[in-house]
Amino acid sequence: MKKLAFIAVLSSFASVVCASDFSLETLKAGDIGVKAEAAVAPAPAAPLKEEAQVPQDLINRFNAVKSELWRLDSDTTWLRSDIDQLESTARRIVQSNTADHFFQNDLQRMSWDMTRYNDTAQRIRSEVKSLLTSAQKDSGLNTAARDMAWETRTLLNRAQFDIENSAQRLEWTVRGAKPELVGYNAQWSAMDISRYSRDFTWKVRDISYDIQTLISATQP
């Protein structure tokens, strides 16, 4: 009896399949409980942040100031030696008690040179301050500013410990000499040289401070 019932059910299922033209293509995923998941598109990558373009004119100005500092450092390399030579001449005049009518002219030329160096240092400081108003954070500009700091450090050490001390010794030696031997304007010129050397040290020190600020302003 059970076999007859099973055969009847099997025959009924076969007839249904044949009547509906069953095929695998007509079988849908939804008919067997499978749901297709939508593909998740990857999030677009964040655009790279472009660095601000540094104007070529600003780059040229940085390099020009760096070159001027190098030139001033080079021009003053032998300044201490020149002042020491004048001081040696003054001592010779005093010791020999012999007049040198050209000595005061040499002192006057040195005074003019010191004035020129001070004017150059003042101009460079003004240019550095101008750079501070337009500085941008850029590795190239920062490198140039650090090169300026190196030149200024060397120049400051020379001005403070070499030039200024030599000028002070020159002033003392000339002021201790008889005016008729070294010239009546010699003492004034020697005092000017000493004063200009101190002014030069202060100007270079101010440049050094401004360049440290410039380094911070250009640090990327």
CA distance 90 to 106: 11
Listing DSSP states for 66-96 in one string gives: HHHHHHHHHHTTTHHHHHHHHHHHHHHHHHH
CA distance 103 to 115: 19
Angle 28-29-31 (CA atoms, 0-180°, nearest 5)? Answer: 70
Both ends of the chain: CA-CA distance in Å? 94
Tell me if 162 sits within 8 A of 83, measured CB to CB: no
Angle 182-183-189 (CA atoms, 0-180°, nearest 5)? Answer: 95
> 66-218, what's its fold?
Methane Monooxygenase Hydroxylase; Chain G, domain 1 (1.20.58)
Q: Is 50 exceeded by the pLDDT of residue 6?
A: no
Q: Is 90 exceeded by the pLDDT of residue 149?
A: yes
15 vs 189, higher pLDDT = 189
Q: What's this model's pTM, rounded to 2 decimal places?
A: 0.75
pLDDT band at residue 42 under the 50/70/90 scheme? low
pLDDT band at residue 53 under the 50/70/90 scheme? confident
One-letter amino acid at 140 equals G
CA distance 187 to 173: 9
pLDDT band at residue 14 under the 50/70/90 scheme? very low
pLDDT band at residue 133 under the 50/70/90 scheme? very high
Q: Is 50 exceeded by the pLDDT of residue 9?
A: no
| CA–CA distances in Å: residue 25 to residues 16, 21, 29, 94 | 17, 11, 10, 122
Q: Is 50 exceeded by the pLDDT of residue 161?
A: yes
Mean pLDDT taken over the chain: 85
User: 179 by DSSP, 3-state: which?
Assistant: helix
Joined tokens for residue 107 = 């002192």
Mean pLDDT of 153-174: 97
